[in-house]
Chains A and B, each alone.
Chain A
């Protein structure tokens, strides 16, 4: 069923009787060409592109709970491609371009809103680093601009330019950055994949891999064994837990990241702003909630919840830069499990086990990567060779010394 304004009107007049489930509820088949483990954004996007772009068939997505219930359902919805390093920037720019055409591509309004993202600058060294980054973005074909404090003040009059411990000295902006209605991304991909024959199987937990002679033959699940020629894992924060079932140790730790939404407010925050001297970033949703976050709690966790010190730290950052925020209220805080990698960059690669492929290590930046991650993972699954835009995201980069370390923090995941 194609969605359109016309269709909405027609259905309204017909008593909404024509709307169909946007995905089927199939029983698993005995064998698939491709099984994607993880019905989050990346897994669903992978299945979608496998079917749509790479014309593959017999594809299933296995999800232990309900689709879209992982980090795609609990993030701060930001898209951007303001990366520094050559291993990253082309990939994220590819992703941003996919975002730009996504809704028309999958015929679902995910409210991709290019409201712009602004990274505030507070020190000279930060300015130097952001100039280097902005140049890298432009040299990679993306967009970036430097804003003066006066320009920033004009767009964000409520920012603290009068009493700041760390004064704003400018900002690096990317106009094409913005936000997306995160749940709709999962649903749009699911709908697009389902309509192309992908079986989306919810409440189907993978409990093990069947591996014989170094080859993965399929997965054991809560619904029984399901055979597959190729198995792709895209389970983000659960990567360590899942891949340990294939006796793999990963360059990844799972950490909790908290995020926050305020009560609905009339529009105040036009784009996305990140504070450069503390842990705080913020945007405002179309519904009116200020969506904000900061740093990870910093300890390994699978608990999907965090603790007060980080809540306070984030709000301190918020008040430092946005002192009107004090009278807005936090409506809800939540935690997601982040697959924090050893250099802060992801992995999209084959494993040493034949037929078993891995996608993970997204740290807390996986949402914006969703389209490109799905596309490149689908490419890898189809062709057994990495997509050129994701060519750097290999397991062996650590052994070779090819780290892609944007923050320069080294092999300590909680610092990325």
Chain B
């Protein structure tokens, strides 16, 4: 039974045979087949199950609007659920499984739902499953969830790669049917930059599916010639397998090109798909039209298809949907299918037309009537017809082609909230006037249904679009071809039916729409949401129109008055992977490395992510097995001898100009005007709302030159803010800013021996003595025999300390040099953990304290905010609640029992009394073990904390099961007088 339904002709390559498996059974098809056409060729009609009732489903369409024939394609990590058999290009070795079934496809146990369909009407679940309340999560929902969903996702990482790219053009033509080809050819010949995109692997659109001739050529041959000419033009990019998924602002379109989906696995080094952002000046939408079904009793059986799809399978794929076919139509197009089938030798058992004036045929019977029922559990075998005179007739057949007319494919015209408008003459919605910027619509998408009309409108649209952007073009000569008018009698459903499907995937029937109306869900959006009409994977392409028409009829109004639904991107369901591109795994975000990274790696450092930076967290020595051992050692080394830490990641902003000091006065709440050259000062920066934004130091290297540092995390936002202040608030100030964060490698050298160490590095004419270069000094210096450098005597650790900066290119050399010359002091590299311990021991605020809600006062720096000058945030920092008694104040915390833990995130409660939110006194922001003190310490915020030193309290963390007795102390745990750093 090999390809029993294969016909002659078509656009398949019989010389290439592909073997494939569907539900474990092996079949053969040819190059140029889709999975759907190959299955039909092999006589397979049953391809899936519907969502709710698990009714048998076969293929409905021959395109991307397919709601029924969804399969799991491939297996393992490459398994793709819900893949439309109608768009899967056949390849050798293809594996596909049917989905949404319990047991074999033929005997799906969940088909039991169909027996209870009368109870499972639209929205029934809103009315029940409420008692007892706890049963929802425990009983009802698990059952519903198990049954829900269609295909399944593997839990394995997607093994393929995806790329992204940008394209620019004068004209984007979407769709390569007759209108699109005419438009692209017109534009291509004019020399304009053109992109022609079509979702199909074969360009030509409906031309591939018809038995037409254009002049003396067959339609597909004409399309081939045009495509060949377009490909020969250097200014035209022809994109097969490329779906325009969305129309975004300002002429930007999203496009997905499927590079490898037609292969068993992507070729080496090739992506699976590419997401293109296409920037275009003008767009012609030529996406054609989609045939719509008619609803009648049991209209959902495998074998019941759109008439145009049956024609497509015959003409393009050389497949008869079945040996015996009936057509049911309300318009002339249904007859075209019958004619083509007859011409190809397929038996047309009858054409049923609802119109009295239907065209007659000598080749087959044309009946005036309606289909009122069908038979065939797993596939159609008979249709029952009520003739106009009331007589009932039955016709045996295996396929029924249904044509309810054509809906212009307006999808992309709605992406910017445009609403389609109704046209009575073709009984369909056409694009409205509010199209996306630069878009025009041609061919069937605009309601021009004949081939001649499509060609003409395509070339005309191209001329108009190009002329609008100043490119001259000439209309192409339109070949002689079909030019039939639309003849249609609107007909949506057969009256009196009990179960007639509107949305085939979601099992929405005419009755559900009636119920929706009866219960007051009459607005189109209510109808959709209540019944799930149009929410299936085709997003209503095959169902919305029917539902809308029935609702209009029930409401006694016209279709346009009943409303329209609009489409949202993407045009067809789009793989999430392609939107992510290569930004996944380790490449999710770029890694920023410090100049000492290579060296630190050689030392075996543990690294930690700090924003996008990778920083050394600690440097384990041989024999150290726990991180704390390393960190404690590093901390003690700084306090007793000397340590070195890469602080390059701190933001560095150069501020230059005659009014640089005035500018700093604006951005810092404390004063900078009087800072002497050669001096540094701590600066606290507020947001305009008076909350601390960031802190750092500003070093005055010259009268008109400061170097400002920021915290690592805020380097960019602070720079942006400073530019805002400079450009938008004080545009005439003589000041220039530039971020130099990555231009300088900077190391903190900290500890009692830091001066002695640096004397071996800094060229001798710089006097580092405490008198000559006291705490908070800065200078341009040279190191290692002439290399320019910057030296700051600032201290985050509280020790005698310096920060030394050299151009980044010398960063690696400098760290190696420091380590080498520091050997006699046992210089110890330290990482971010030790850095944190050192600063907590000193009570210095950092990111955990500058959390975006703390004021200068909270930080114990309220006096820093100058009232005698204008600075960002000073006015709003004075608001009542920010300065009222009871505000939080930064304090130190130590456990009464030195062995007790103290953790950040714990809350502070009074020594006695309830433990609850109403009695909350504050919280711990940063905690660590202090190797110098031999117990845990922490800093945090406590209500009126500055008045509560010595108070005993409870530190509670119910989340982690901790309750510890603690004492509130000054946050300056080590050297509160600051003698060490001034030494």
Tell me if chains A and B make direct contact, with any CB pair below 8 A.
yes
Interface pair B149/A264, CB less than 8 Å apart? yes
Chain A 145-171, CB within 8 Å of chain B: the 1/0 string?
Answer: 110000000000110100111100000
Question: When chains A and B are docked, how far (Å) is the Cα of A12 from the Cα of B518?
Answer: 14
Question: When chains A and B are docked, how far (Å) is the Cα of A188 from the Cα of B123?
Answer: 12
Interface pair A264/B158, CB less than 8 Å apart? no
Given known contacts A103-B133, A324-B156, A407-B852, A135 and B956 CB-to-CB distance under 8 angstroms: yes
Given known contacts A265-B151, A286-B148, A411-B688, A305 and B880 CB-to-CB distance under 8 angstroms: no
Given known contacts A132-B907, A264-B537, A268-B152, A113 and B417 CB-to-CB distance under 8 angstroms: no
Looking at B137-145, B419-427, B437-445, B661-669, the stretch in contact with chain A turns out to be B137-145
Of the candidates B119, B155, B585, B851, the one whose C-beta lies within 8 Å of that of A268 is B155
Closest residue to A184 on the B side, CB-wise? B126
Of the candidates B129, B137, B539, B580, the one whose C-beta lies within 8 Å of that of A319 is B580
Closest residue to A114 on the B side, CB-wise? B137
Closest residue to B691 on the A side, CB-wise? A410
User: Given the complex, which residues of A lie within 8 Å of B82, measured CB to CB?
Assistant: 263-265, 329
Question: When chains A and B are docked, how far (Å) is the Cα of A60 from the Cα of B599?
Answer: 71
Determine which residue in B529, B573, B693 has the highest number of CB atoms from chain A within 10 A of its CB, and name it. Answer: B529
Q: A140: CB under 8 A from chain B?
A: yes
Interface pair A262/B576, CB less than 8 Å apart? yes
Closest residue to A86 on the B side, CB-wise? B917
Closest residue to A167 on the B side, CB-wise? B609
Question: When chains A and B are docked, how far (Å) is the Cα of A101 from the Cα of B957?
Answer: 30
Question: When chains A and B are docked, how far (Å) is the Cα of A319 from the Cα of B589?
Answer: 12
Interface pair B905/A132, CB less than 8 Å apart? yes
Given known contacts A130-B905, A266-B149, A3 and B575 CB-to-CB distance under 8 angstroms: no
Q: What's the least CB distance linking A205 to chain B, in Å?
A: 15
Interface pair A128/B585, CB less than 8 Å apart? no
Looking at A104-112, A209-217, A238-246, A363-371, the stretch in contact with chain B turns out to be A104-112
Interface pair A139/B915, CB less than 8 Å apart? yes
Q: A278: CB under 8 A from chain B?
A: yes
Q: A330: CB under 8 A from chain B?
A: yes
Closest residue to A278 on the B side, CB-wise? B588
Interface pair B529/A183, CB less than 8 Å apart? yes
Question: When chains A and B are docked, how far (Å) is the Cα of A373 from the Cα of B156?
Answer: 41
Interface pair B523/A307, CB less than 8 Å apart? no
Chain B 151-164, CB within 8 Å of chain A: the 1/0 string?
Answer: 11111111010101
User: Given the complex, which residues of A lie within 8 Å of B155, measured CB to CB?
Assistant: 157-158, 268, 324
Interface pair B415/A305, CB less than 8 Å apart? yes
Interface pair A267/B525, CB less than 8 Å apart? no
Chain B 243-270, CB within 8 Å of chain A: the 1/0 string?
Answer: 0001011001010000000000000000
Chain A 301-318, CB within 8 Å of chain B: the 1/0 string?
Answer: 001110110011011111
Interface pair A139/B80, CB less than 8 Å apart? no
Q: A323: CB under 8 A from chain B?
A: yes
Interface pair A125/B537, CB less than 8 Å apart? no
Which residues in window 884-940 of B have CB below 8 A to A? Answer: 903-907, 915-917, 920, 923-926
Q: What's the least CB distance linking B234 to chain A, in Å?
A: 28
Interface pair B577/A3, CB less than 8 Å apart? no
User: Given the complex, which residues of A lie within 8 Å of B958, measured CB to CB?
Assistant: 135, 138-139
User: Given the complex, which residues of A lie within 8 Å of B693, measured CB to CB?
Assistant: 410
Interface pair B149/A267, CB less than 8 Å apart? yes
Q: A115: CB under 8 A from chain B?
A: yes
Q: B876: CB under 8 A from chain A?
A: yes
Question: When chains A and B are docked, how far (Å) is the Cα of A409 from the Cα of B917?
Answer: 24
Which residues in window 73-100 of A have CB below 8 A to B? Answer: 73, 86, 89-90, 100
Which residues in window 108-160 of B have CB below 8 A to A? Answer: 118-119, 121, 124-131, 133, 136-137, 141, 144-146, 148-158, 160
Q: What's the least CB distance linking A392 to chain B, in Å?
A: 11
User: Given the complex, which residues of B lie within 8 Å of A140, measured CB to CB?
Assistant: 916-917
Q: A31: CB under 8 A from chain B?
A: no
Interface pair B130/A329, CB less than 8 Å apart? no
Q: What's the least CB distance linking B714 to chain A, in Å?
A: 12
Q: A381: CB under 8 A from chain B?
A: no
Question: When chains A and B are docked, how far (Å) is the Cα of A337 from the Cα of B691?
Answer: 28
Q: What's the least CB distance linking A395 to chain B, in Å?
A: 14
Question: When chains A and B are docked, how far (Å) is the Cα of A166 from the Cα of B591?
Answer: 11
Interface pair B904/A128, CB less than 8 Å apart? yes
Interface pair B959/A135, CB less than 8 Å apart? yes
Q: B976: CB under 8 A from chain A?
A: no
Question: When chains A and B are docked, how far (Å) is the Cα of A320 from the Cα of B609?
Answer: 15
Interface pair B127/A165, CB less than 8 Å apart? no
User: Given the complex, which residues of B lie within 8 Å of A166, measured CB to CB?
Assistant: 588-589, 609
Question: When chains A and B are docked, how far (Å) is the Cα of A317 from the Cα of B252?
Answer: 23
User: Given the complex, which residues of A lie within 8 Å of B719, measured CB to CB?
Assistant: none
User: Given the complex, which residues of A lie within 8 Å of B903, measured CB to CB?
Assistant: 131
Interface pair A307/B249, CB less than 8 Å apart? yes
Question: When chains A and B are docked, how far (Å) is the Cα of A140 from the Cα of B146?
Answer: 36
Question: When chains A and B are docked, how far (Å) is the Cα of A330 from the Cα of B521?
Answer: 27
Of the candidates A101, A324, A328, A409, the one whose C-beta lies within 8 Å of that of B852 is A409
Question: When chains A and B are docked, how far (Å) is the Cα of A319 from the Cα of B162?
Answer: 11
User: Given the complex, which residues of A lie within 8 Å of B129, measured CB to CB?
Assistant: 5, 109
Given known contacts A128-B848, A263-B537, A287 and B149 CB-to-CB distance under 8 angstroms: yes
Q: A332: CB under 8 A from chain B?
A: yes
Q: What's the least CB distance linking A249 to chain B, in Å?
A: 17
Q: A7: CB under 8 A from chain B?
A: yes
Q: What's the least CB distance linking B79 to chain A, in Å?
A: 7
Of the candidates B146, B415, B585, B853, the one whose C-beta lies within 8 Å of that of A165 is B585
User: Given the complex, which residues of B lie within 8 Å of A7, measured CB to CB?
Assistant: 127-128
Interface pair A127/B249, CB less than 8 Å apart? no
Interface pair A113/B152, CB less than 8 Å apart? no
Question: When chains A and B are docked, how far (Å) is the Cα of A8 from the Cα of B248?
Answer: 45
Closest residue to A89 on the B side, CB-wise? B917
Given known contacts A22-B519, A264-B51, A305 and B153 CB-to-CB distance under 8 angstroms: no
Determine which residue in A5, A112, A304, A405 has the highest number of CB atoms from chain B within 10 A of its CB, and name it. Answer: A5
Chain B 527-544, CB within 8 Å of chain A: the 1/0 string?
Answer: 001101001010100000
Question: When chains A and B are docked, how far (Å) is the Cα of A12 from the Cα of B122?
Answer: 12
Interface pair B126/A400, CB less than 8 Å apart? no
User: Given the complex, which residues of B lie within 8 Å of A100, measured CB to CB?
Assistant: 133
Q: B323: CB under 8 A from chain A?
A: no
Closest residue to B959 on the A side, CB-wise? A134
Q: B490: CB under 8 A from chain A?
A: no
Q: B416: CB under 8 A from chain A?
A: yes
User: Given the complex, which residues of B lie within 8 Å of A268, measured CB to CB?
Assistant: 152-153, 155
Q: A30: CB under 8 A from chain B?
A: no
Of the candidates B518, B529, B581, B851, the one whose C-beta lies within 8 Å of that of A19 is B518
Question: When chains A and B are docked, how far (Å) is the Cα of A268 from the Cα of B80?
Answer: 14
User: Given the complex, which residues of B lie within 8 Å of A262, measured CB to CB?
Assistant: 573, 576
Q: A4: CB under 8 A from chain B?
A: yes
Of the candidates B78, B126, B164, B608, the one whose C-beta lies within 8 Å of that of A187 is B126
Interface pair B960/A327, CB less than 8 Å apart? no
Which residues in window 1-50 of A have CB below 8 A to B? Answer: 3-5, 7-9, 12-13, 16, 19-23, 25
Closest residue to B253 on the A side, CB-wise? A308
Of the candidates B249, B573, B905, B926, the one whose C-beta lies within 8 Å of that of A135 is B905
Of all A-B residue pairs in the complex, the 6 with the closest CB atoms, nearest first, are: A408-B852, A131-B905, A326-B577, A288-B149, A326-B158, A401-B879
Supply 7 further A-B pairs (C-beta < 8 A) apart from A9-B119, A19-B515: A125-B847, A165-B609, A308-B252, A308-B277, A312-B581, A327-B79, A330-B575
29 contacts between A and B (CB under 8 A): A4-B130, A7-B127, A7-B128, A8-B119, A90-B917, A100-B133, A109-B136, A113-B137, A125-B848, A128-B905, A135-B957, A139-B956, A164-B588, A267-B145, A268-B155, A286-B144, A315-B577, A316-B588, A323-B157, A323-B585, A324-B77, A324-B156, A325-B158, A325-B576, A327-B576, A332-B569, A401-B879, A403-B853, A410-B691
Interface set of B (CB-CB < 8 Å, partner A):
51, 77-82, 118-119, 121, 124-131, 133, 136-137, 141, 144-146, 148-158, 160, 162, 164, 246, 248-249, 252, 254, 275, 277, 415-417, 511, 515, 518-521, 523, 525-526, 529-530, 532, 535, 537, 539, 568-570, 573-577, 579-581, 583-589, 591, 608-610, 687-691, 693, 847-848, 851-853, 876, 879-883, 903-907, 915-917, 920, 923-926, 956-960
